[in-house]
Amino acid sequence: MTAVKATPTTPPPRLPVRDKAAAGDRGWGGVSPMLTRLAAEEATGVLVRERGSLHLVDGRVVHAESPSAPGLDLLLTAHGTLGTEAWEAAARATDDRHATTRLLLDGGLLSPGALELCHLGALYDAAYFVLAPSSTPGRFRYGVTHPLGGVRPVPVAALERETLRRRDLLHRVWPDAATDGAPLVRADPVAPAPVTPRQAAVLDRVDGVRTATDIARELGRRAYPTLLDVRRLVSAGLVSPRPPAPLAAAPAVTAPGPGVTPVLDVVDPDITLLKRLRDALEAL
């Protein structure tokens, strides 16, 4: 029996490899491979990551939420688009059959155009933080739905492209991301640069305590545009992250004076035995 040795005519194609150096120069590290897989399998549920969550229906994102971004309720009620009482009443009345947004639309309290605009703004805003590079793995819960319901589903590919575009834009304006989450302080430039009215509103709220997210919530604005305003103010020399507080100096230790018995901080379990030995020696 003769063995036949087969040789491949062409080598297999190389697997795609992410250019880590280029990603580092841009200030981002990619998006979630898990999200891409969930989109391909048209999954329904919620993807939970370190900085928030994405709700999917049939592989499309219908809702996003993050502690770093104001929610849809704040964006709708902050500037009079919808009354706070109307939102709270619809949220209380929501059950498994009626989404909060559907109740508002059916009751004529909210127009479809205003809802779609605020919904997409809140979704892309929160997704920017949810899809940030993470040190912990994400997890997906199949079948979980959100009471807001799907106003306008967003394809995962479109969400990833927009997230990467926003990262690149922030990096071009100011490459240091420390300004995104740190308390902000005002600088005292010799010749202050002119600012837009929008940036002036942000600058007025810089007090050494508020972060960019705090300012966004107070103004009723989306978080990402506020990050962009803050980085432009930093680039202009008007704002900077608050420096960390100096470490407190350790108290000086001085030797006890003559005739002063030092105080023991830790009780020695054998102190009674040592005292007896000392008394015995003094009696000799």
DSSP secondary structure letter of residue 95: B
- Let me know: does 203 contact 185? Beta carbons within 8 Å: no
In 189-269, which residue ranges form alpha helices assigned H by DSSP? 197-204, 212-219, 223-235
Distance CA(241)–CA(116), nearest Å, equals 35
Distance CA(123)–CA(117), nearest Å, equals 10
- Let me know: does 214 contact 208? Beta carbons within 8 Å: no
Distance CA(65)–CA(43), nearest Å, equals 18
Of residues 17 and 241, the one with the higher pLDDT is 241
What's the alpha-carbon Rg for the chain, to the nearest Å?
30
Q: Which two tokens stand for residue 226?
A: 């506020």
Residues 6+ apart with CB under 8 A from 177: 27, 170
Q: Mind listing the pLDDT tens digit for each residue in 225-257?
A: 999 999 999 999 999 998 877 766 556 555 555
CB atoms within 10 A of CB 24: 10
Considering the entire predicted model, what is its pTM?
0.74
Of residues 70 and 281, the one with the higher pLDDT is 70
Question: Of 192, 148, 175, whose CA–CA distance to 55 is shortest?
Answer: 148
Indicate if the pLDDT at residue 95 is higher than 60.
yes
Indicate if the pLDDT at residue 96 is higher than 60.
no
- Which of 1-15, 41-55, 99-113, 183-197 is most confident? 41-55
Confidence of residue 266 (pLDDT cuts 50, 70, 90): very low
Confidence of residue 102 (pLDDT cuts 50, 70, 90): confident
**pLDDT at res. 280:** 61
Q: Which two tokens stand for residue 227?
A: 């990050």
Q: Which two tokens stand for residue 44?
A: 């329904």
